[in-house]
Amino acid sequence: MQGAIFIEWNKYQLLFNNKEYSLIGGFKDFDKRVWKGTTFTKAREVGIVLTYLSFDGKEVYQGNLSKSATYTLGSEKNLRIDYEATTDQPTIINFTNHSYFNLKDWGTSNILNHELKINASFIPLLMKD
């Protein structure tokens, strides 16, 4: 199946990979690519910067797109994820994160009894039709 998007009056055909949606960058999504990783250490922080260059026309998206995701672990036991992208042509991009971490016994058991604390002043609720 295909759908179309318009950017600056130009029509681009997208390939749908999830019913009527084009998710996570297409059929060979960014999660199926090998990203380059560089570790860093700063005062009270350690982390990794993951980078990937998606070339013009990949999965029918226009423009060379340079992406990075920086994972930073702070001394207060906090994890921060920062995304950045640059392109040489108008295009669409929307970063998100679907990661989960099993920190119990090095991942040998399931995560069914884990608890998650979200330190936020607001958490949007998703509404279903």
Q: What is the pLDDT along the chain (129 residues), one digit of tens a residue?
A: 456 777 778 777 777 777 777 766 666 767 777 889 999 999 899 999 999 998 887 766 778 989 999 999 988 878 899 999 999 988 877 787 777 666 677 778 887 777 777 778 876 665 554
Question: Is residue 61 assigned to a domain?
Answer: yes
The residue written with tokens 């989960």 in the block is 100
Task: Give the domain range for residue 54.
Answer: 29-107
**Total structural domains in the chain?**
1
As given in the structure block, the two tokens for residue 36 are 């380059």
CA atoms of 129 and 113, how far apart (whole Å): 30
Neighbours of 5 (CB within 10 A): 14
Question: Is residue 15 assigned to a domain?
Answer: no
